[in-house]
Amino acid sequence: MNKKIGFIGFGKMAQAMAGGMIHSGLVNPKEIEASMRTEETRAFASEQFGIGVSPSNRQVAGFADVLFLAVAPYTYFEVIEEIKEDIKQDVIIITIAAGITTADVENAFGQKVKVVRTMPNTPSLVGSGMTAVSANSEITDEELHSVEKLLGSFGKVEVIAESQMDAIPAISGSSPAYVYMMIEAMADGGVRQGLARDQSYRLAAQAVLGAAQMVLETGKHPGELKDQVTSPGGATIAAVSTLEQERFRGAVLAAMDSCTEKVKELGRK
């Protein structure tokens, strides 16, 4: 890719994204520069990723053709205020924070800027991320396509309407946390039946991975796949029946509602 990539903030998410771009061969580490607060993170980023590092957000803003704002949501507007005079004219700004709209970003820059709002997740660290994307009207189809390619280097990408963006943390941004809880609970169940702890984690995690692949690769309805595993009077339907009695699906839906409510509340602040 013939573009210079900048990261303001180089924490867990930025590292996952930069790692994917570099490992896929799409971006040369020399074409990436990142700024962060501490000398410790700068030394780590330089050694582990071979990218350029700087204590100056303004320097990185002036370097980048594609600029990721990878700081905490509450730091966004202070960072934009700091760099707004330094960005290149046609820079593509990429946001990764829940609740911050493309209009918020345009207003903060005080001018028309190209903004792509995204919501990634941490499985990006292992190249299996899920990133939802929506662009403002300044972004051309060609630019959106090149951003999709960049984000596709660490997982799957879905383009959605910005009005649906607040729904994304609950379904793919935060949901790895619920799945980890499920894997942990399944492993506890295995240990309770006498399986070794480490083997239980492997068995449970691989079952979750395989089930997800079945949904994605067969294109079958999850209910149909569930029906295929449940023989009449068998053990699986006994488990399914208990999950229904314990309101498993209701608990997942309620958790997602709480997540979305919180995202909206954070966006209003």
Query: DSSP characters for 205-234?
Result: HHHHHHHHHHHHHH---HHHHHHHH--TT-
Question: In whole angstroms, what is the distance from residue 67 CA to residue 18 CA?
Answer: 12
- Which one, 21 or 79, has the nearer CB to ligand NAP? 79
- Which one, 16 or 200, has the nearer CB to ligand NAP? 16
Question: In whole angstroms, what is the distance from residue 178 CA to residue 184 CA?
Answer: 10
By the rule CB under 6 A, 10 interacts with ligand NAP: yes
Q: How far is the CB of 51 from ligand NAP (least distance, A)?
A: 13
By the rule CB under 6 A, 51 interacts with ligand NAP: no
By the rule CB under 6 A, 8 interacts with ligand NAP: yes
By the rule CB under 6 A, 146 interacts with ligand NAP: no
By the rule CB under 6 A, 14 interacts with ligand NAP: yes
User: Within 10 A of 225 (CB to CB), how many other CB atoms are there?
Assistant: 13
Out of 5, 13, 21, 51, name the contact with ligand NAP by CB under 6 A. Answer: 13
Question: In whole angstroms, what is the distance from residue 71 CA to residue 58 CA?
Answer: 14
- Which one, 151 or 200, has the nearer CB to ligand NAP? 151
Strands 114-119 and 129-135: antiparallel
By the rule CB under 6 A, 93 interacts with ligand NAP: no
By the rule CB under 6 A, 73 interacts with ligand NAP: yes
Residues 110-129 that bind ligand NAP (CB under 6 A): 119-122
Q: Which H or E element spans position 181?
A: helix 175-192
* Of 34-42, 159-167, 215-223, 256-264: span binding ligand NAP (CB under 6 A): 34-42
User: Residue 193: exposed, middle, or buried by beta-carbon count in 10 A (0-12, 13-18, 19+)?
Assistant: exposed
Question: In whole angstroms, what is the distance from residue 147 CA to residue 155 CA?
Answer: 13
Which pair of tokens denotes residue 266?
């954070």
- Which one, 125 or 203, has the nearer CB to ligand NAP? 125
Q: How far is the CB of 164 from ligand NAP (least distance, A)?
A: 16
By the rule CB under 6 A, 37 interacts with ligand NAP: yes
User: Within 10 A of 7 (CB to CB), how many other CB atoms are there?
Assistant: 29
Q: Which residues would be at the binding site for ligand NAP (CB under 6 A)?
A: 8-14, 35-38, 41, 57, 70-73, 75, 79, 96-98, 119-122, 173
